[in-house]
Chain A
Amino acid sequence: MGRFTMRMGRRMMAALAISSVLAMGRPVLASDHADPVALGDPESNITDLFFFPQGDQMILIFNVVRSLLAPEPYNLEPFTYQINMDLTTPVSTQDDANRARYGGTVLVPDQIHPDVSITIHLHDDVTLKDVTFKGLDERQTGNIKQYFSVRDDPFIFPRFFGKNVISMVLSIPKSAFPAGQHDYILWGTTSKNGHQIDHVGRSIRSQLPRFGFLNTLAPKDHLKALMEMKTQRDGIYNFLHTSKEWWAVAAGDLLQFTYQLRKYDLQPDVMIYSDRFPVGYPNGRVLTDDVVAQTCSFGDCLLQELSFIEGGWPRATKNDKEFSPDWPFEAAPWPEQKVVPAATHSVLPWVILGAIGLIVVSWLIGEIVRRLACWLFGKWWRRVVDA
């Protein structure tokens, strides 16, 4: 009984652990639009990173703040927006699967480092406070064209149609990069008071529920963290899935498609761009890329389903506003709307949560009592038979 109870208890604890993990997961929304860590500080929430060539320039677009329709001023001043580029860590395109998913394979992932860092601070009215360019040819940084404003959210996803973002657009002369530069590894971050809040690399990656922990880590630490998390979650899955209890198996199945890391997840979250291949997700990213469909084609269909759930028929494969072929490329913003004050906090969700908690605890106690009673009865019955 002791062993059996312990085994049952471990399974229950594992199931509760999963429930807790699931409960912590907040709604997944779009592109990099919905990293849960960022919802408390909307201005830190990265929505998109684009990188593509245009003539003798490289265009870099970094967007933040999802579902924006409120008028100025915003709360942008406390945040640091940074885009990093590793120009020296080798990238291979030999592995077809990695090339299809990630644009290539970073050969030494724990050596990813920023050779170039572009750091931006904005005023609350979205004008530039300051920008620094580190690692680019100083003779060319004066020629970098810059644009900071509210623009239409370019992400092709119904939930964000008709919505704006805070957009940072840079046109960097190719000559600002080292001569003969072909491969770029990029990522963007937001931080406040020196603490990193959000991260973006390749689109539709760090915002998925299973990758939340990557948002506060540097890319060089991603693989180590992914391996550790995979080992941990695989252990829980294996434990649950080999159980006799149906609910443990069901919890294992739920874990598998929500939080368990997959065999193709073990790559750092960075954007790779190489001018050896045509530009387009996941080789860099252009505004017209339907990244939701593309990501679904290689294994992550969560946003594809959401785009059907929330969108019409047929599924939108283009943005809801035409992009501009000219600077600053993103479409004009949607009209501002007055912010509707948030509803007064209701006590109802807490009542429901309490009721669920009470049911779970009651069930646990009932199950323990039932098994204890069975065990005592069995023991008593054996004594009777022996007597």
Chain B
Amino acid sequence: MKTCLAAVAALFATAAAAHDFWIEPSTFHPTPGTAVGVGLRVGEYFIGDPVKRQSSAIERFLVRQADGEQAVGGADNIDPAGFLRADGRETAVIGYSGGGAYLEMPPDRFAVYLRLYGLDWVVAEREKRGESARPGRERFYRCAKALLTGARGAAAASRPLGFAYEIVPDDDPTRRREPFGGHLLSDGKPMAGAVIGAYLQGEPSIRLETRTDSAGAFRFDLPKAGVWLIRSVHMERAGMFDRNDWNSRWASLTFEQPEGAR
């Protein structure tokens, strides 16, 4: 029993150190001209804690909607991290990139976390390099996107924002209920073999997982309408002079898929 509890505690501790990161707006269906609070969340399985705005950590924080692209403003140390005025005429894309934070984890916790996110190859690589007993030293970058449903769909929903790691839907998923297909891009190029997860808000038991194909494509048959989080994490070896051994990139996309027959 004690072992079991310790394992659970270790898992949660690991999760606390390495979290999914996503955008959670105050509404996914803004009416034209209304203010939308853009919350940032960090957590697991689409259950997250608010992340207050830290301007120094933000690389890009923008919204692309019918009347063009604007920066998402906001005050530091406040949740929601940003505010925008929704145009509402068509699907809007909110994007956030930033991070660059450093973290260090004991080797056993680091291995659990890597396996949890399907990064077994990193575990193998650490073994090969004789680093398995060394703490995991990582720097992470976050690239999150959200789609706000508008009066009509928008081609912008399926266009990349140019983030370092990015989930790009093939079609605007806010229009109708259908299988969700997309591509995963790393530095603008297709990312093959990466694990992609899908989670439904309010139903943490629904967890879908797949891998991208050689063209970076993936597809989910989302079982229910609702607010979905699609996420992926990618890790690569850091440079020789870096303090950390690994760089991780976290991509997410949140949107609401409408009710309705397929």
Contact = CB atoms under 8 A, between A and B. Distances in A.
Interface of A: 105, 107-111, 223-224, 226-227, 230-231, 234-235, 237-238, 241-242, 256, 260, 263, 266-267
A321 to B, nearest CB: 40
Contact of A223 (B35, B55, B56): B35
B223 interface: no
B74 A234 contact: yes
B153 interface: no
23 contacts: A107-B31, A108-B34, A110-B33, A223-B33, A223-B35, A223-B85, A224-B85, A226-B35, A227-B35, A227-B73, A230-B73, A231-B71, A231-B73, A234-B75, A235-B73, A237-B76, A238-B55, A241-B76, A241-B77, A242-B56, A242-B76, A263-B37, A263-B75
Contacts of B84: 227
Contacts of A237: 75-76
Which one of A224, A231, A256 has the highest number of Cβ atoms from chain B below 10 Å of its Cβ?
A: A231
B166 to A, nearest CB: 25
Contact of B75 (A105, A108, A223, A260): A260
Contact of A109 (B33, B71, B75): B33
Interface string B37-81: 100000000000000000110000000000000010111111010
Given A223-B85, A227-B83, A227-B85, A266 B76 contact: no
B76 A238 contact: yes
B188 interface: no
A256 B56 CA distance: 18
B78 A263 contact: yes
B32 interface: yes
A214 to B, nearest CB: 15
A244 B172 CA distance: 45
A266 B35 contact: yes
Contacts of B73: 227, 230-231, 234-235
Contacts of B76: 237-238, 241-242
Given A223-B35, A256-B75, A263-B83, 13 more contacts: A107-B31, A107-B34, A108-B32, A111-B33, A223-B33, A223-B34, A224-B85, A227-B73, A227-B83, A230-B73, A234-B75, A242-B56, A266-B83
A267 B85 CA distance: 11
A293 B81 CA distance: 29
Given A107-B34, A224-B85, A227-B83, A242 B55 contact: yes
Nearest to A107: B31
Nearest to A105: B34
Which one of B37, B75, B77 has the highest number of Cβ atoms from chain A below 10 Å of its Cβ?
A: B75
A108 B34 CA distance: 6
A6 to B, nearest CB: 18
A237 B78 CA distance: 12
A296 to B, nearest CB: 21
A263 B39 CA distance: 12
Contacts of A230: 73, 83
A231 B72 CA distance: 8
Interface string B237-252: 0000000000000000
A108 B33 CA distance: 6
A72 B85 CA distance: 47
Contacts of B77: 241
A111 B55 CA distance: 33
Given A223-B85, A231-B73, A234-B73, A109 B80 contact: no
Contacts of B34: 105, 107-109, 223
Contacts of B31: 107-108
Contact of B32 (A110, A227, A256): A110
A92 B33 CA distance: 15
Given A107-B34, A108-B33, A109-B33, A238 B85 contact: no
A267 to B, nearest CB: 7
A238 B56 CA distance: 9
A226 B56 CA distance: 24
